[in-house]
């Protein structure tokens, strides 16, 4: 690795050349408050909360947009830095509602973590109320832009990560907000409901409709297609109630599509979901054991010659399962009639 060493809050930190000051601080475990940065997004410098002092640099540069350089000396939490941060957050709080739904036990809200870090108990500015109608048109998430701080993360996510561009920042100045084309409900846009903007929103402006907190999480592989996205299923009372992508793996790096993010709990918990094989007896399908079902299938297959049967496998199976199935088809059944479908 082509590395450089700088000093942050008195500690020597070695990072890859090209890393930002923010990345260097995060690598060293030094907290710098942020609201508009995300490791999947290009540096933006919008919220100004990550300002720091850097020796021999004028003003308070933003750590998320400033490249770390060799020998740089950075101070992340001086009185001047935190005073400026408090002014920024106080302005954001001026029109932020008190009754934030993200604070009802869900600790996902980055904004309130920043408020707590800066110790902002009192609001020095007059409170303003925007009363923007909530957009509940999407089946999986709500947009309540009274809570929007215009960080632009949702718009940049939709552009840079998902490449859909369903939303843009609309208007100017105080009234700037993310908007679907023509200010229409999000469901009328080309939004694919992936929820990537929802998981990155630092406030309660974008929230999933299902907000229960799971009692525990189980790491597994998304069952929908052959990509093999790694997910954490949130479980409470024996039911799957949430899904989140695992950012620490190279398959999907936390990204999910609409099916993986919002479509797993519905069918796993569905009362009519098949959990046992069915066999037809006396004209009706009845539940049976795997032993009986497999015996029946084996008996029927024995009555067909080579080339008279076909095997259809599924992308939901593992590579190993699919290997065994094609091997079984070719060597036991003697057929090359093998196909596959991601929807099975």
Which positions touch ligand SF4 (CB under 6 A)?
A: 148-154, 157-158, 162, 164, 166-167, 178, 191-197, 201-203, 205-206
For residue 330, the 8-state DSSP code is I
Which of the listed partners (ligand FES, ligand SF4, none) does 45 bind, with a CB threshold of 5 to 8 Å by partner kind?
Answer: ligand FES
Minimum gap (Å) between residue 158 Cβ and ligand FES: 18
Q: Choose among ligand FES, ligand SF4, none what residue 194 binds, the Cβ cut-off being 5 to 8 Å by kind.
A: ligand SF4
Instruction: Determine, following the binding rule CB under 6 A, whether residue 45 of this chain makes contact with ligand FES.
Output: yes
Choose the contact partner of 233 out of ligand SF4, ligand FES, none; CB within 5 to 8 A by kind.
none
Q: Which is nearer to ligand FES, 22 or 204 (CB)?
A: 22
Question: What is the closest distance, in whole angstroms, from the C-beta atom of residue 59 to ligand SF4 in the complex?
Answer: 25
> 281: which residues sit within 8 A by CB, 6+ positions away?
none
- Shortest CB 169 distance to ligand FES, Å: 15
Q: How far is the CB of 11 from ligand FES (least distance, A)?
A: 21
Task: Choose, by CB under 6 A, the member of 4, 6, 19, 49 that binds ligand FES.
Answer: 49
User: H helices within 9-54, ranges in order?
Assistant: 21-27
Give the x-and-dash track for 16-35 against ligand FES (CB under 6 A).
------------------xx
Nearer of residues 45 and 277 to ligand SF4, judged by Cβ? 45
| Location of structure tokens 């408020």 | 115
Q: What is the DSSP letter of 51?
A: B
- By beta-carbon proximity to ligand SF4, the closer residue of 23 and 196 is 196
Least distance in angstroms from the C-beta of 47 to ligand FES:
3
Widest CA span in the chain: 87
Residue ranges with strand state E in the chain: 3-8, 11-16, 53-54, 73-75, 141-143, 167-170, 177-180, 206-208, 216-221, 230-236, 239-245, 278-281, 284-287, 311-314, 338-341
* Residue whose CB is less far from ligand SF4, 146 or 246: 146
Strands 141-143, 206-208: pairing is antiparallel
**Distances in whole angstroms, Cα of residue 10 to Cα of each of 13, 30, 74, 76, 81:** 9, 11, 8, 10, 16
Answer for the pair 21, 74: CB distance below 8 angstroms, yes or no: yes
Q: Which two tokens stand for residue 335?
A: 């057929």
Among ligand FES, ligand SF4, none, the one that 154 touches (CB under a kind-dependent 5 to 8 A) is ligand SF4
Residues 167, 189 contacting (CB under 8 angstroms): yes
Give the nearer residue to ligand SF4 in terms of CB position, either 247 or 300: 247
Q: Which is nearer to ligand SF4, 15 or 158 (CB)?
A: 158
62 is an interface residue for ligand FES by CB under 6 A: yes
**Contact (Cβ atoms closer than 8 angstroms) between residue 73 and residue 55:** yes
Binding region for ligand FES (CB under 6 A): 34-37, 45-50, 62, 64
């Amino acid at each position: 690795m082509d590395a450089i060493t700088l000093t942050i809050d008195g500690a020597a930190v070695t990072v890859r050349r090209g890393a930002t000051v923010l990345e260097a601080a995060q690598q060293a475990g030094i907290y710098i408050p942020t609201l508009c940065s995300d490791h999947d997004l290009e540096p933006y410098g919008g919220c100004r909360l990550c300002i720091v002092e850097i020796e021999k640099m004028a003003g308070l540069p933003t750590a998320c947009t400033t490249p770390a350089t060799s020998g740089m000396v950075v101070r992340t939490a001086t009185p001047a830095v935190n005073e400026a941060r408090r002014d920024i957050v106080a302005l954001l709080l001026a029109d932020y509602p008190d009754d934030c739904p993200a604070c009802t036990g869900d600790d996902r809200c980055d904004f309130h973590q920043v408020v707590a870090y800066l110790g902002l108990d009192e609001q020095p500015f007059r409170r303003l109320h925007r009363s923007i109608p909530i957009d509940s048109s999407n089946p999986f998430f709500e947009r309540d832009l009274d809570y929007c701080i215009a960080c632009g993360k949702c718009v940049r996510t939709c552009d840079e990560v998902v490449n859909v561009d369903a939303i843009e920042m609309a208007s100017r100045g105080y009234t700037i907000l993310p908007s679907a084309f023509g200010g229409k409900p999000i469901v009328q846009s080309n939004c694919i409901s992936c929820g990537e903007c929802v998981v990155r929103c630092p406030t309660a402006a974008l929230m999933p409709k299902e907000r229960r907190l799971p009692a525990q999480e189980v790491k597994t592989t998304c069952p929908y297609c052959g990509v093999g996205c790694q997910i954490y299923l949130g479980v409470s009372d024996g039911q799957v109630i949430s899904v989140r992508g695992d950012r620490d793996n190279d398959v999907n790096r936390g990204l999910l599509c609409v099916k993986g993010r919002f479509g797993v709990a519905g069918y796993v918990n569905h009362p009519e979901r098949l959990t046992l094989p069915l066999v037809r007896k006396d004209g009706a399908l009845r539940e049976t054991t795997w032993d009986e079902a497999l015996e029946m299938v084996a008996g029927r297959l024995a009555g067909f010659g080579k080339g008279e049967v076909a095997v259809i496998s599924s992308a939901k199976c593992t590579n190993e399962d699919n290997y065994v199935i094609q091997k079984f088809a070719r060597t036991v059944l003697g057929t090359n009639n093998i196909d596959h479908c991601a929807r099975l």
